[in-house]
Structure 1
Amino acid sequence: MICAIIDYESGNLHSAEKSFQRMANETGVGRIVVTSDPVEVLRADRIVLPGVGAFADCREGLFAREGLFEAIETRVIRDGVPFLGICVGQQMMATWGREHGIDCRGFDWIPGEVVAIETGDPTLKVPHMGWNALVNCASHPVLDGIKDGDHAYFVHSYHLKADNPEHVLGQVKHGRAITAMVGRDNLIGTQFHPEKSQQTGLRLIGNFLSWKP
């Protein structure tokens, strides 16, 4: 089994590669490659898309690499291989990103839009940064062993507001409840960084590498 972590110069690739390689070694389910080569992506049995920064910048960086998104979409949507989006990699799964007054098309894999966090509490800061407890965790193979109250590491000012509540697999409270995880079929995304979330993140990574949707 080959798990491809997509390199388009947006994301903490060293940390992600280290965490995924650790869990690949522990589970014995395959090898991890960091790549921007569409041919290599087409061979992958699992695909991870990290992302850090602004929605539009990440999308532009991804689509600037000829054939890369097309290869990802072929494997994920046509062939149904498991996909994990992390942070902005998760947000780009939405229909629209709406940052700084700019409307930017997403992949439209999880219908919805990426909007600014509204805490409803002026004492709470945005960005939402640091450790926070997950709430309303769904029953899902990738979340096996992960429950309400487990902590994960967040750094974000926007979140994915899904059109279908069933696509929301977990939330986090920062004043109001905001999206922490989304998914459907062979797709899953986390707003938090599993590679920085210690045991919670490592468990999720291990589950993803073993997942057979």
Structure 2
Amino acid sequence: MGRRVTVLDYGSGNIRSAVRALEHVGAEVSLSHDSKEILEADGLVVPGVGAFATVMEGLKAVDAIRWIGRRIAGSRPVLGICVGLQVMFEEGVEHGVRTQGIGEWPGTVERLAAEVVPHMGWNTVRPPEGSELFSGIENERFYFVHSYGVQHWNFDVNVPEMTPPQVTWADHGGPFIAAVENGPLSATQFHPEKSGDAGAALLQNWLRTLG
């Protein structure tokens, strides 16, 4: 039996492609914002396209931030995609407006420091040694569509028994965070559901972490 995955339905666009991609790699997928389905699924996917502030408003409208936090606190896997990665950070700055994020990780989402924005198309990434998400696909290319990103990582871990997050980087006008793996919470700035065989392999790797 495949792993049960809920794709969070809060009004974000283009989530059907995420549902299809997960089904393609063997997951049993529901599209819902029902708290019971969110909490009981083996894995929760938080998609996101468009503006940081709009995504945060959508998440708040269905009380999703509470359920995302409850899953993470209970070590229940969550995968953010695109703006679904960005909102896991402390804040986003768009057109001079600061919007508070979920705050699972320190950092600010800002406009990419590149001559050509948005960053649209295929790009390589630099995963850390031991990455589970990128196991076997360390040298593959993934599909990005974004104008904003997190360009600095300031996670300071002073607790000896705490494993620091694994951060994957990519470059477009400078380095930016392409993915983070942090216990039950993982996220990618790129779209695995649009990344062909490499994206499918990454989703399979994530499904294997669901226990």
Pair in the same fold by TM > 0.5: yes
Question: Which residue pairs with 1:85 in the alignment?
Answer: 80
Determine helix, strand or coil for the equivalent of 1:208: helix
Q: Report what 1:72 is aligned to.
A: 68
Per-residue CA deviation, residues 166-213 of structure 1 (Å, 9 max, x unaligned), is: 645212221312211112111111000000000111011001111158
Q: Which stretches of structure 1, 4 residues or more, deviate above 3 A after TM superposition?
A: 165-168
Unmatched 5+ stretches in structure 1: 25-29
Q: Does 1:156 align with 2:146?
A: yes
How far off is 1:69 after superposition? 2.3
| Paired position in structure 1 for 2:51 | 54
CA distance in 2, matches of 1:110, 1:11: 24
- Does residue 32 (structure 1) correspond to residue 29 (structure 2)? The answer is yes
> Contact 1:97 / 1:113 at 8 angstroms: preserved in 2?
yes
Q: 1:42 to 1:210 in 2, by over 3 A?
A: same
CA distance in 1, matches of 2:83, 2:126: 20
- Matches of 1:46 and 1:208 in 2, distance apart? 9
- For 1:192, the equivalent position in structure 2 comes to 190
* Contact 2:131/2:166 (8 A) holds in 1: no
- 2:41 pairs with 1:44: yes
Higher helix share: 1
Alignment partner of 2:89: what SS?
coil
| 166-175 vs 15-24, greater mean Cα deviation | 166-175
Correspondence for 1:115 among 110, 116, 127: 110
What is the rounded CA distance, in whole Å, between the counterparts of 1:203 and 1:181 in structure 2?
Answer: 15
The aligned residue for residue 138 of structure 2 is 147
SS at match of 1:12: coil
Residue in 2 that maps onto 1:170: 168
Percent sequence identity is: 37
Contact 1:84 1:189 in 2 (8 A): yes
- Verify: 1:10 aligned to 2:7, yes or no: no
Amino acid at match of 1:131: W
CA separation in 1, counterparts of 2:127 and 2:35? Answer: 37
- Secondary structure of residue in 1 paired with 2:56: helix
Give the letter for the 2:9 counterpart: D
User: Following TM superposition, by how much is the alpha carbon of 1:137 offset from its aligned partner in structure 2, in angstroms?
Assistant: 4.2
Q: Are the counterparts in 1 of residues 165 and 183 from structure 2 also a CA contact under 8 Å?
A: no
What secondary structure, in the 3-state scheme, does the structure 1 residue paired with 2:136 have? coil
| Matched residue SS, 1:111 | strand
Q: Return the alpha-carbon distance in structure 2 between the equivalents of residues 89 and 97 of structure 1.
A: 12
Against the structure 1 CA distance between its residues 168 and 103, is the aligned structure 2 distance closer, same or farther, given a 3 Å change threshold? farther
